[in-house]
């Protein structure tokens, strides 16, 4: 039926599937008076939560407060696809291009980081459907097969456990008429329920004595003796140090606005597949899947065998607008639904139950960057560009090293010491991002990289999700 992909989304709730869960924790109080602490963390996503946990694990006597403008885990950390990858550089190709001399170390640190997350999930008994399945990058065109071969060579040279799947081997894993080949990056990625992970980290932080306030937006930071005064609408925090994990939201340090472009990413979830429907797809090893054009899809199974399907469009709104109304974009959901049934025509008739979106913090190098302000009293970690589920723990650990004045293997790296190239101001930013999206789409259709993209390559500037 011609418009069946539209019927498939007609009854979907515009709400993140992961929040439809009876185990969502009670909300915490708003900060209504002046509190003091050693460390105030602003932002209750993974970056803020890991900062809180690692800070207390390093020094249990440190008094830590975490505040969030809304709900802990309510932003990207609770609504993402749940692909927890070891890469700290938004993939090995981006790492090779920007930090060739440090790539082997970064891949090793990334693996250690993923192992540390797994250990913490076990240590704190976090029930987040953690499955270390790895990810298959799938080729849906002949030139993508060549790219996968190149990635395979590079990953093997780094000593990684990868398996190239030719057409038959790929079909044996997951059945789709669109697949030409796949590259299974084993051991380097896990699938999680992202909201349950955020809620579990919140509980772990509280068990260590972290005081958490929700619906408490920091409105300004100022020097206060040897510390920092954090002002909120009806309260204040006097803190020795401040850690910022505010991701795509308007930054409290104005200079960060030049480095971050908030971009909206959208995804959706089907109803649970019946055993027959699942058998028609295969997918016994439950890997995360992702195709590899510029505009890519990511998809995976949930614990109850729904398919989460997302990506492709990455939408920047004029002047870096961030607002919950932008989490709804029916035209993107329609496009995603059409692509879903092209990939899995055998699932005709399956319905989507939830559709949603969220903001990611795109920067021009596609991976986290760090910095300090106010004489080292304030530090920040952001810029994950849509790949922060795993990397946010590393971002937090390094941010804490910077605040504690601790030298580590990571703090010596150019990766940590350098910043991305800033984006231009409006209206050039908006025009530049639209031109880049158009050019990337053109490249996906024709295989040709145009003058605009080649110029950006030379400048080291990029746009991704």
Task: List residues binding ligand FAD (CB under 6 A).
Answer: 42-48, 67-70, 74-77, 79-83, 85, 217-218, 245-247, 249, 252, 265, 267, 298, 310, 357-360, 384, 386-390, 392
Spatial CA neighbour of 78 closest among 41, 43, 113: 43
* Residue closer to ligand FAD, measured from CB, 103 or 359: 359
Closest approach of ligand FAD to the CB of residue 395, in Å:
7
Distance CA 463, CA 292 (A): 15
Distance CA 112, CA 83 (A): 17
Q: How many CA atoms lie within 13 A of 139 on its CB side?
A: 24
Closest approach of ligand FAD to the CB of residue 209, in Å:
20
The phi-psi region of residue 27 (left if phi > 0; otherwise alpha if psi is between -120 and 50; otherwise beta) is beta
Sorted by sequence, the CB contacts under 8 Å of residue 236 that are 6+ apart come out as 33, 34, 35, 229, 230
Closest approach of ligand FAD to the CB of residue 392, in Å:
5
Spatial CA neighbour of 288 closest among 117, 130, 408: 130
* Residue closer to ligand FAD, measured from CB, 128 or 387: 387
* Residue closer to ligand FAD, measured from CB, 32 or 169: 32
Closest approach of ligand FAD to the CB of residue 2, in Å:
29
Closest approach of ligand FAD to the CB of residue 385, in Å:
8
* Residue closer to ligand FAD, measured from CB, 144 or 363: 363
- Give the three-class secondary structure for 405: coil
Closest approach of ligand FAD to the CB of residue 351, in Å:
20
The torsion of the CA quartet 345, 346, 352, 357, rounded to 10 degrees, works out to -50
* Residue closer to ligand FAD, measured from CB, 177 or 330: 330
DSSP string, 330-378: HHHHHHHHHHHHHH-GGGTT--EEEEEEEEEEE-TTSS-EEEEEGGGTE
* Residue closer to ligand FAD, measured from CB, 87 or 436: 87
């Amino acid at each position: 039926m011609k418009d069946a992909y539209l019927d498939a989304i007609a009854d979907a709730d515009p709400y993140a599937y992961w929040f439809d869960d009876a185990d969502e924790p009670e909300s915490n109080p708003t900060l209504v008076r002046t509190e003091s602490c050693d460390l105030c963390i602003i932002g209750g996503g993974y970056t803020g939560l890991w900062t809180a946990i690692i800070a207390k694990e390093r020094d249990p006597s440190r008094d830590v407060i975490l505040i969030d403008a809304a709900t802990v885990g309510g932003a990207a950390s609770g609504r993402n696809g749940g692909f927890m990858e070891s890469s700290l550089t938004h993939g090995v190709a981006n790492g090779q291009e920007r930090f060739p001399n440090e790539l082997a170390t970064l891949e090793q640190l990334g693996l250690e980081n993923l192992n540390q997350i797994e250990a913490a999930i076990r240590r704190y008994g976090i029930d987040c459907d953690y499955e270390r399945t790895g990810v298959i990058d799938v080729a849906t065109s002949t030139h993508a097969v060549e790219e996968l071969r190149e990635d395979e060579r590079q990953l093997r040279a780094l000593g990684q456990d990868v398996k190239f799947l030719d057409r038959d081997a790929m079909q044996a894993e997951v059945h789709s008429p669109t697949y030409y080949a796949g590259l299974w990056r084993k051991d380097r990625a896990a699938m999680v329920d992202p909201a349950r992970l955020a809620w579990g980290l919140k509980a772990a932080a509280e068990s260590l004595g972290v005081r958490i306030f929700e619906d408490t937006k920091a409105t300004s930071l100022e020097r206060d003796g040897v510390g920092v005064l954090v002002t909120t609408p009806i309260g204040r925090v006097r803190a020795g140090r401040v850690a910022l994990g505010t991701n795509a939201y308007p930054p409290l340090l104005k200079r960060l606005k030049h480095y971050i472009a908030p971009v909206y990413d959208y995804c959706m979830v089907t109803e649970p597949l019946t055993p027959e429907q699942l058998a028609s797809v295969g997918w016994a090893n439950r890997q995360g899947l992702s195709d590899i054009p510029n505009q890519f899809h990511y998809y995976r199974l949930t614990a109850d065998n729904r398919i989460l399907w997302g990506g492709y469009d990455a939408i920047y709104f004029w002047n870096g607008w961030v607002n919950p109304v932008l989490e709804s974009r029916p035209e993107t959901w329609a496009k995603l639904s059409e692509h879903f049934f092209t990939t899995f025509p055998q699932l005709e008739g399956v319905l989507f139950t939830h559709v949603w979106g969220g903001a990611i913090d795109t920067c021009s190098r596609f991976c986290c960057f760090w910095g300090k302000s106010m004489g080292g009293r304030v530090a920040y970690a952001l810029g994950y560009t849509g790949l922060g589920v795993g990397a946010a723990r590393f971002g937090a650990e390094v941010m804490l090293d910077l605040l504690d004045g601790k030298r580590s293997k990571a703090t010596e790296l150019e990766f940590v010491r350098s910043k991305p190239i800033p984006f231009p101001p409006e209206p050039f930013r908006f025009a530049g991002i639209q031109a880049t999206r158009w050019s990337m789409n053109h490249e996906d259709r024709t295989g040709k990289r145009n003058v605009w993209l080649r110029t950006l390559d030379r400048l080291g500037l990029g746009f991704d999700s």
